[in-house]
Amino acid sequence: MTDTVPELTLTRSCPFDPPDGAAELRERGPVARVRLFDGSTPWLVTGHAEARALLSDPRVSSDRGRPNFPMPIPLPPQTRPTNMTATLISNDPPVHTRLRRMVIPSFTVRKIAALKPKIERIVTERLDAMIAAGPPADLVADFALPVPSMVICELLGVPYADHAFFEEQSRRRLDADGNAIRNLLTYLHDLVQKKIDEPGEGLLDDLIAEQLAEGGLDHEELAAMGMVMLIAGHDTTANMISLGTMVLLGNPDQLAKVRDDEAAIGGAVEELLRYLTIAGTLGRVALEDIELGGQTIRAGEGVLVASAIADREQSDELDVANPMRHHLAFGFGIHQCLGQNLARAELEIAFTHLFRRIPTLRLAVPVEEVPRRPNALLSGVSELPVTW
Ligand code: HEM
């Protein structure tokens, strides 16, 4: 029977589109079996309504340590953190609820609004430097990566001077390098110690004062929590800045709408998030039998939500003036992206300033020649040669 189950690939022949074979997978129904590289056959959810239902269903677990947790690409065991206790993303309630409560106050709309002047300063400085040095430029190294990296450092209280180290480890982690997680955890562990000895400013310092001191988190948990926010906080946003820029440059009529009307940027960012859905698969394990899309997912079975496919259900066209509500680019349910307000602010400010400061911006090579991130769970490019 398994012979008829199609294989899932994460390859995106076009960097903007869902993984190859999406149309065939969708034809099999909103919930159907798929085969992964390791021969396992979890459920794949491609329907948008079904994806939202599954992600908000309390009968699923996000615990990556559970048997049958679906992994769409080979990851050596070392890349899965040994201490997942404090990483939010891999925890279920009640632990998840407790951890999320500790950090949510730092990511409210109001808190992020207060950060906007700092984000504007960082964006302006990066553009000043890029314009002074170029053209040409590598938009990833000169802009898309340093902006979110500096912002998350500022928010967490991590020294930006160490950015080369953690950006490298983070990239190696996504490329399935076994030691990267360990190196990052050691770095964060030492940083927490330094901050205990000499307190500074930032979310890590707040957590040391409020949680570590009160026994809410131990040293190791705090390091793990910091690591996840550091990783989640820059790679994702960096990929959205570079891919979003590519998409807009390739769609001049859409770009014109963003340029002509400053108020349009919010909707444009939402539409780019939907269109690209860079974190294109989200894994879960069913804790009980779940009826979904005409199928019965049995307790203990793995489920992959194909968010990149589901987000194209309504339209395959990019329309910045007509963004779809309820896209899945930030996930849905209790694990919905903690940093979404921050990411939105960064993307809005980055695109607005980039296209205003460099109105003649264009790709320096054809789209097909832009180097892509290999085999990553996150869609992105490793370099983006641009000129003006
Ligand atoms: C455009 C940029 C971003 C995208 C596309 C993105 C995407 C996502 C997605 C899809 C999830 C849900 C994963 C799941 O359900 O299994 C998630 C969770 C998360 N994201 Fe983001 N993210 C972005 C930016 C950020 C930023 C800037 C931060 C900063 C701290 C962040 C921190 C987190 C954390 C901590 C979680 C886990 C939340 C939980 O499990 O409760 N993300 N993100």
Residue 80 has a pLDDT of: 52
Ligand 1: residues within 6 Å at CB?
Answer: 62, 88-89, 100, 152, 228-229, 232-233, 236-237, 240, 278-279, 282, 329-331, 335, 337-339, 342-343
Residue 1 has a pLDDT of: 46
Counting beta carbons within 10 angstroms of the beta carbon of residue 255, is it exposed (0 to 12), middle (13 to 18) or buried (19 or more)?
Answer: buried
Please tell me the distance between residue 339's alpha carbon and the centre of ligand 1 in angstroms.
6
Rounded Cα–Cα distance for residues 123 and 63 (Å): 36
Residue nearest atom 6 of ligand 1, based on CA coordinates: 330
Q: pLDDT tens digit string along 36-67?
A: 999 999 999 999 999 999 999 999 999 988 99
The mean per-residue pLDDT over the stretch 85-110 comes to 87
Least confident of 117-121, 139-143, 247-251, 257-261: 257-261
Please tell me the distance between residue 149's alpha carbon and the centre of ligand 1 in angstroms.
15
Residue 304 has a pLDDT of: 97
When pLDDT is cut at 50, 70 and 90, the band that residue 2 belongs to is very low
Rounded Cα–Cα distance for residues 155 and 203 (Å): 6
Please give the residue that has the higher pLDDT: either 21 or 83.
21
Residue nearest atom 27 of ligand 1, based on CA coordinates: 233
Q: In the chain, what percentage of residues exceed pLDDT 90?
A: 68
User: How many other C-beta atoms can be found within 10 angstroms of the C-beta atom of residue 11?
Assistant: 9
CA 299 and chain centroid, separation: 28
The mean per-residue pLDDT over the stretch 73-80 comes to 62
Residue nearest atom 19 of ligand 1, based on CA coordinates: 337
> Contact 208/199 with Cβ under 8 angstroms?
yes
Rounded Cα–Cα distance for residues 18 and 246 (Å): 16
Whether residue 150 is predicted with pLDDT greater than 50 in this model: the reply is yes
The pick from 45, 337, 344, 349 for probing ligand 1's pocket by mutation, whose C-beta has the most ligand atoms within 8 angstroms, reads 337
Whether residue 81 is predicted with pLDDT greater than 80 in this model: the reply is no
| Encoded tokens for 246 | 């590519």
Domain range annotation of the chain:
2-387
| Encoded tokens for 57 | 């269903």
Average model confidence (pLDDT) for the chain? Answer: 90
Q: What topology is assigned to 2-387 in CATH?
A: Cytochrome p450 (1.10.630)
Residue nearest atom 1 of ligand 1, based on CA coordinates: 237
> Contact 155/106 with Cβ under 8 angstroms?
yes
The mean per-residue pLDDT over the stretch 80-97 comes to 75
The mean per-residue pLDDT over the stretch 75-97 comes to 71
When pLDDT is cut at 50, 70 and 90, the band that residue 211 belongs to is confident
